[in-house]
Amino acid sequence: MTHTLGRPDFEVISSWIEPGHRVLDLGCGDGTLLKHLIDTRGVKGWGVEIEDANVLAAIKNGINVIQGNLENGLDEFADQAVDHVVLSRTLQTVRHTEGILREMLRVGREAVVSFPNFAYWKNLRSVLNGRMPVSEDLPYQWYDSPNVRFFTLLDFEDLCAKMGLIIRERSVLDEEGNPVTNEVNFLGSLAVYRLTKNR
């Protein structure tokens, strides 16, 4: 499967966003996803990013970006300010997991979250071999990783249930970006969730 953006989760996310919607991308990096959504879906998009180099790259990509730390919340955004708040491959790097999920669904009607699945069979094999996993979806060594959480699809779904969040859609992908439908917690390398909350 060839991925136009090089990130298969971006394609799943794009398919869930309606043309013209308002999108806030948290940890937007250089703005690649937002640029794609603006170009292909006509969305109104904003990004939040902490790293100086990424903020500059996002601005060069024509993205409206705010430099900020997600750990401090999203106070600068009003309730229900956007249609979708996206957190792509970043949830495992935040310390206040429940807080950021609550804030995402305060600011947006829907939250879209993608993260690497620690229960993926290759990751489990690495641990059984005595090593922390390093892969396409977990690309860091243990000593330089920004990741502070290691969790699985089942862990995330338990948290959603505990918080009263509704999983509207879930897409699980293997390392090549192909959809996984069986044994997802074992065969899926990356998970993408579309969440809402009880109103």
Greater pLDDT, 148 or 106: 106
* Average pLDDT score over residue span 163-178: 96
CA distances from residue 30 to 11, 49, 110, 135 in whole angstroms, order as listed: 17, 9, 23, 22
What are the chain's domains? 8-197 (3.40.50.150)
pLDDT band at residue 62 using 50, 70 and 90 as cut-offs: very high
Residue 42 CB neighbours (<10 A): 12
**Predicted confidence (pLDDT) per residue in 78-124, tens digit:** 999 999 999 998 898 888 999 999 999 999 999 999 999 999 999 88
Euclidean distance between CA atoms 174 and 120, whole angstroms = 9
Phi then psi dihedrals of residue 128, to 5 deg: -60, -30
Query: Closest by alpha carbon to 51, among 38, 37, 33, 65?
Result: 65
Sheet with 82-88: list strands edge to edge.
64-67, 44-49, 22-26, 82-88, 108-116, 190-197, 165-173
